[in-house]
């Protein structure tokens, strides 16, 4: 074994490169062969070149006001074509289901009446926006851009950790990482066919144009950024540049008579689709926080009038609430009549008395998370926390049980990562990005693999100082893939009215269902459950 891999430990977690006996997995053979010929200094030298290039080009992440290069580890993370097929279908399935859930939750509310999800979860969610209740113009395209965080458990099964259907970030690093790794470590790719990620901006622009308001032949798309001090500002510029659209700030926009314009040097130009990277609360000072300087007054009314499409829609936060997360498997069964393709992580709802008592008794073995947190904030990992932290967590839970969930501590899968001058296993997750144009959900082959650099650290968020890896999805080539069997679910079907829960939805939503049947391999809201397992 090459020096770099000397004493590579194997642990409880699933290692992506080596199996339990220390043998290299077939998909990693090329990479392993390429790396074992390298000296540690060579690899380190390349990593330094990479860091400098990133810094010079300003490919950075602002952490506490200081810009730092987003650390990229050169060893790629590899997903085989068969594994990816599951991820791809599973992510698309979740997006389709959450899309229907949002349309239902801000509309007829059938799912609450049928008792699948308690209505109080909606009304007590901080992200529930009454201002957009009953707004149906965007049904089918409320979640245009999403990222679903996946982890791999000890058996190698992908599980969903959380959904991000508000403003998922990180896709720019997917694009930059691929470019950097193919320039700096070209020998690792060898003769494998890795599926490209470069067409993401084009796909995204096509989707944004597709969800434009009715009757606009040539929609103008803009990217709305909070400004240069936002931690993901680099990503906003990259997406605008690659899509060839304007990057605007709130002060560039004017709303007049429910139309949105952008100030240019010559005139006021109408805008039809806003890919906004500004949070709901700051988007429209008329509807939300009155002191916000980041948005533009009148945006929500313009969207309600159907003159502008906000991507993603306002109020999506109710669907990626961590408490709703525990209901997502049922949400999928309810709307799609399918069994979830990717399971959740075992989760306890702390507002339920039994679960709470169990969780409080076993705090030291569980992971406790705030339901509306993001960026890894507020997470308490029982096995690593001291007595004082646990006591604080206990008090917080007792004070507001609705605010917390507890999960089994999953040992995230590991990938060899350059630490010092040795390769060491470090925990990773995966955020695939999905683009939904209202008819079809496309999942970018790859996604952001985030890696926790400290030893044993399980929180991989970039706002916690994590790094990233390039993610390769191998092309299946001519070899036929094992079909993914989607199990039909009959759990809620008998109670459904014949026309389905969102029959009141817009024409567009129905059109979307028509299309999805051909795409996504599953009976899509078919009122009579099929017994035959559909395949793709």
Site string for other proteins, 331-350 (x = CB under 8 A): --------------------
Distance of CA 371 to the CA centre of its chain: 16
Does the footprint of other proteins cover residue 265 (CB under 8 A)?
Answer: yes
Token pair in block for residue 332: 């999928």
Cα–Cα distance for residue pair 385/381, rounded to 1 Å: 6
Footprint on residues 105-134 left by other proteins (CB under 8 A): 134
Q: Which is nearer to other proteins, 228 or 398 (CB)?
A: 228
Which residues have C-beta within 8 Å of that of residue 64, sequence separation ≥ 6? none
**Of these, 82, 86, 254, 390, which contacts other proteins (CB under 8 A)?**
254
Q: Which is nearer to other proteins, 201 or 446 (CB)?
A: 201
The residue count for binding other proteins (CB under 8 A) is 40
Token pair in block for residue 484: 């993914």
Q: Which is nearer to other proteins, 32 or 200 (CB)?
A: 200
Does the footprint of other proteins cover residue 304 (CB under 8 A)?
Answer: yes
Give which of 251, 310, 256, 321 is closest to 280, Cα–Cα.
310
Does the footprint of other proteins cover residue 498 (CB under 8 A)?
Answer: no
**Of these, 147, 170, 298, 466, which contacts other proteins (CB under 8 A)?**
298
Cα–Cα distance for residue pair 289/281, rounded to 1 Å: 6
C-alpha distances in angstroms, 124 versus 121, 127, 263, 318, 405? 5, 9, 38, 10, 15
Token pair in block for residue 32: 């392993």
**Of these, 57, 183, 503, 511, which contacts other proteins (CB under 8 A)?**
57
Which residues have C-beta within 8 Å of that of residue 381, sequence separation ≥ 6? 367, 409, 458, 459
Contact criterion met (CB below 8 Å) for 80 and 474: yes
Q: Which is nearer to other proteins, 57 or 499 (CB)?
A: 57
**Of these, 156, 306, 401, 456, which contacts other proteins (CB under 8 A)?**
306
Residue pointed to by tokens 């010929």: 37
Contact criterion met (CB below 8 Å) for 312 and 166: yes
Q: Least distance (Å) from other proteins to the CB of residue 261?
A: 11
Contact criterion met (CB below 8 Å) for 249 and 225: yes
Does the footprint of other proteins cover residue 290 (CB under 8 A)?
Answer: no
Q: Which is nearer to other proteins, 307 or 468 (CB)?
A: 307
Given the rule CB under 8 A, which of 41-49, 179-187, 201-209, 297-305 is the region that contacts other proteins?
297-305
Residue pointed to by tokens 């199990």: 487
Q: Least distance (Å) from other proteins to the CB of residue 221?
A: 13
Does the footprint of other proteins cover residue 76 (CB under 8 A)?
Answer: no
**Of these, 24, 237, 374, 389, which contacts other proteins (CB under 8 A)?**
237
Given the rule CB under 8 A, which of 24-32, 151-159, 247-255, 315-323 is the region that contacts other proteins?
247-255
**Of these, 175, 255, 345, 385, which contacts other proteins (CB under 8 A)?**
255
Token pair in block for residue 10: 């194997």
**Of these, 83, 114, 249, 409, which contacts other proteins (CB under 8 A)?**
249
Cβ-based neighbour number of residue 517 at 10 Å: 15
Phi first, then psi, for residue 85 (nearest 5°) are: -55, -40
Does the footprint of other proteins cover residue 183 (CB under 8 A)?
Answer: no
- The answer, yes or no, to whether the previous bond of 254 is cis (omega within 30 of 0) is no
Footprint on residues 134-173 left by other proteins (CB under 8 A): 134-135, 137
Give which of 403, 470, 437 is closest to 181, Cα–Cα.
470
- Output Rg (C-alpha) for the chain, integer angstroms: 23
Does the footprint of other proteins cover residue 371 (CB under 8 A)?
Answer: no
Q: Least distance (Å) from other proteins to the CB of residue 68?
A: 12
Strand partners, 320: none
Q: Least distance (Å) from other proteins to the CB of residue 469?
A: 24
Contact criterion met (CB below 8 Å) for 22 and 10: yes
Q: Least distance (Å) from other proteins to the CB of residue 247?
A: 5
Does the footprint of other proteins cover residue 270 (CB under 8 A)?
Answer: no
Q: Least distance (Å) from other proteins to the CB of residue 302?
A: 8
Q: Where are the beta strands (DSSP E) in 80-157?
A: 145-152
Q: Least distance (Å) from other proteins to the CB of residue 263?
A: 4
Does the footprint of other proteins cover residue 233 (CB under 8 A)?
Answer: yes
Footprint on residues 202-231 left by other proteins (CB under 8 A): 214, 227-228
Listing DSSP states for 278-296 in one string gives S-HHHH-TTTS-TT-SSS-
Cα–Cα distance for residue pair 277/207, rounded to 1 Å: 16
Given the rule CB under 8 A, which of 16-24, 178-186, 195-203, 262-270 is the region that contacts other proteins?
262-270
In three-state secondary structure terms, 412 is: coil
Q: Which is nearer to other proteins, 311 or 328 (CB)?
A: 311
Q: Where are the beta strands (DSSP E) in 104-200?
A: 145-152, 158-164
Given the rule CB under 8 A, which of 87-95, 165-173, 250-258, 434-442 is the region that contacts other proteins?
250-258
Contact criterion met (CB below 8 Å) for 34 and 185: yes
Question: Which residues contribute to the site for other proteins (CB under 8 A)?
Answer: 55-58, 134-135, 137, 214, 227-228, 233-234, 237-238, 240-241, 246-249, 251-252, 254-258, 262-268, 297-298, 301, 304-306
């Amino acid at each position: 074994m090459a020096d770099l891999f000397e004493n590579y430990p194997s642990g409880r977690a699933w290692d992506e490169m080596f199996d339990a006996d220390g043998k290299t997995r077939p998909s990693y053979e090329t990479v392993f062969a390429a790396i074992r010929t390298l000296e540690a200094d060579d690899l380190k030298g390349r990593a330094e070149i990479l860091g400098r290039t990133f810094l010079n080009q300003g490919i950075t992440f602002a952490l506490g006001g200081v810009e730092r290069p987003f650390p990229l580890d050169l060893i790629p993370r590899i997903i085989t074509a068969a594994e990816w097929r599951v991820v791809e279908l599973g992510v698309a399935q979740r997006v389709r289901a959450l899309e229907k859930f949002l349309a239902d939750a801000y509309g007829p509310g059938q799912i609450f009446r049928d008792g699948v999800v308690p209505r109080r979860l909606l009304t007590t969610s901080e992200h529930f926006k009454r201002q957009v209740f009953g707004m149906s113009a965007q049904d089918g395209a409320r979640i245009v851009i999403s990222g679903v965080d996946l982890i791999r458990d000890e058996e190698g099964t992908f599980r969903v950790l959380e959904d991000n259907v508000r403003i998922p970030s990180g896709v720019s690093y997917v694009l930059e990482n691929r470019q950097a790794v193919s320039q700096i470590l070209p020998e690792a790719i060898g003769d494998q066919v890795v599926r490209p990620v470069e067409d993401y901006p084009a796909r995204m622009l096509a989707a944004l144009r597709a969800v434009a308001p009715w009757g606009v032949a040539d929609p103008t798309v803009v990217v709305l950024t909070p400004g240069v001090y936002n931690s993901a500002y680099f990503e906003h510029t990259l997406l605008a540049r690659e899509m060839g659209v304007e990057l605007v700030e709130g002060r560039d926009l004017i709303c007049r008579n429910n139309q949105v314009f952008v100030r240019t040097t010559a005139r006021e130009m109408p805008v039809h689709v806003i890919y906004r990277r500004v949070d709901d609360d700051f988007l429209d000072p008329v509807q939300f926080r009155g002191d916000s300087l980041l948005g533009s007054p009148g945006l929500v009314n313009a969207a309600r009038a159907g003159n502008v499409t906000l991507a993603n829609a306002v109020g999506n936060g109710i669907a990626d609430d961590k408490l709703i997360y525990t209901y997502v498997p049922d949400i999928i069964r309810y709307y799609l009549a399918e069994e979830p393709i990717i399971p959740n992580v075992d989760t306890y709802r702390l507002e339920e008395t039994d679960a709470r008592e169990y969780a409080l008794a076993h705090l030291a073995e569980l992971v406790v998370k705030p339901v509306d947190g993001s960026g890894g904030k507020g997470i308490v990992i029982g096995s690593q926390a001291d007595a004082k932290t646990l006591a604080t967590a206990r008090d917080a839970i007792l004070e507001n049980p609705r605010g917390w969930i507890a999960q089994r501590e999953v040992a995230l899968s590991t990938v060899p990562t350059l630490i010092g001058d040795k390769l060491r296993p470090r925990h990773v997750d995966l955020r695939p990005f999905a683009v939904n144009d209202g008819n079809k959900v496309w999942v970018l082959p790859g996604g952001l693999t985030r890696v926790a650099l400290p030893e044993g650290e399980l929180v991989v968020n970039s706002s916690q100082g994590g790094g990233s890896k390039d993610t390769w999805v191998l092309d299946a080539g001519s070899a036929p893939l094992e079909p993914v069997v989607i199990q039909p679910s009959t759990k809620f079907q008998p109670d459904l009215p014949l026309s389905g829960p969102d029959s009141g939805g817009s024409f567009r939503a129905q059109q979307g269902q028509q299309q999805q049947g051909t795409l996504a391999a599953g009976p899509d809201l078919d009122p009579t459950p099929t017994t035959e397992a559909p395949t793709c």
